Structure 1
Amino acid sequence: MRLMLAAVTVDAARAAAGQRRWHVSDTARVVAAMDLGFAGQAVLSTDFGYTVALQFGGGYQVHVEVPLTLRIDGLDREIEPGRNADASAVAQLSGQVVSVARADDSGGLRIQFAGGTRLVATPDSAFEAWTVAGPDGLKVVCGPGGELSVWSPRQS
């Protein structure tokens, strides 16, 4: 993960536990897309309500709280958390293996699956759009306007 940080804050309590929280300001530019670290992991389960929740192997989870685009079988489908008609499309992700999982410099989330399926979520101007959580306390949160906050994994 290569970041050029314009403004960085470190949460002291987490730093004492060997974990750092990075706050990436809206003036910061990501030199390259941020690899979220769970390529090669399969979707173990999905949950659909007012949040789209995906559980992956390796201890990774993704929660999306905004409308997203899901491409399945070459067709883009707009998925809105809380709209019951979309639950079956999200359930089709079960068992699929991630080939790419990235966040971009605008706060967008892109998860590409080996079979061509893809999930794309964009930031919301007023609310947190998505969260990725991983092993050892890794967390990436897309805040309002696409501002990313990153908590690095605890060091062993």
Structure 2
Amino acid sequence: MTTEVEPVEHEDRWILNLRGLTVARISVDFRLTLALDAGWEVVLEAPARLSPGSVRTSPGLLLTPESQDVAAVLPLFGAMVLSSVAFKSGALRLVFDGGTHLTCSTDTSFEAWQITGPRGWRFVSLPGGDLAVWSGSGASENPQGRSAKQ
């Protein structure tokens, strides 16, 4: 299943509209990459948490891409995305069928994660806790929340 719906901006978050896409490839180097069908890619460079259900009910497992300690994510191969949210604070939350949650917080010094997609969409968690957004139209959402042309 693919989606033609563009990401939607809200006051404190972006709904990425990846619902129905599946994890087609998982790769690991100093990063953890989840390649979704329809041309979307999720790249985690900072530690992330994989929880079997809501993060409120289970602390889950810590994934550490830079040390390749990410084996717990392998069962996500073929999993379908149910929800995908990029918070303007720089945090990320993905929910997969089966209830698995993948969350990534910000990093004080580095870009914690990025998501790229078709038509030039790019979401980046900036150092210190902001979110940058680019679309194929050339618009950029800067960390202060004002739109600007690239």
Q: TM-score, normalised by structure 1?
A: 0.75
Out of 103, 109, 114, which is 2:92 matched to? 109
Question: Could you say which residue in structure 2 is the equivalent of 1:39?
Answer: 19
Question: Could you say which residue in structure 1 is the equivalent of 2:76?
Answer: 93
Q: Which has the larger radius of gyration?
A: 1
Shift of 1:127: 0.6
Shift of 1:135: 0.4
Q: Is the 8 A contact 1:38 1:58 kept in 2?
A: no
CA distance in 2: counterparts of 1:153 and 1:115, whole angstroms: 33
Which amino acid in the other structure matches residue 47 of structure 2?
A: P
CA distance in 2: counterparts of 1:75 and 1:67, whole angstroms: 14
Quick one: percent identity of the two aligned structures? 33
Question: Could you say which residue in structure 1 is the equivalent of 2:51?
Answer: 71
**Any runs of at least 4 consecutive aligned residues in structure 1 with deviations exceeding 3 A, and if so which?**
72-75
Could you tell me which runs of 5 or more consecutive residues in structure 2 were left unpaired when the two chains were aligned.
Answer: 1-7, 139-150
Could you tell me which runs of 5 or more consecutive residues in structure 1 were left unpaired when the two chains were aligned.
Answer: 4-30
Shift of 1:91: 1.4
Out of 106, 112, 118, which is 2:101 matched to? 118
Counterpart check, 1:80 vs 2:64: yes
Instruction: Output one character per residue of 1:66-87: Cα deviation in whole Å (capped at 9) or x when no partner.
Output: 0000113766000101334x33
Q: TM-score, normalised by structure 2?
A: 0.77
Q: Aligned pair count?
A: 127
Higher helix share: 1
Which amino acid in the other structure matches residue 97 of structure 1?
A: M
Which amino acid in the other structure matches residue 83 of structure 1?
A: S
Q: Give RMSD over aligned pairs.
A: 1.8
CA distance in 1: counterparts of 2:50 and 2:92, whole angstroms: 12
Shift of 1:39: 1.4
**More contact order relative to length (CA 8 Å, sep ≥ 6):** 1
CA distance in 2: counterparts of 1:2 and 1:39, whole angstroms: 16
Out of 38, 50, 58, which is 2:38 matched to? 58
Secondary structure of the residue aligned to 1:145 is coil
Shift of 1:48: 1.7
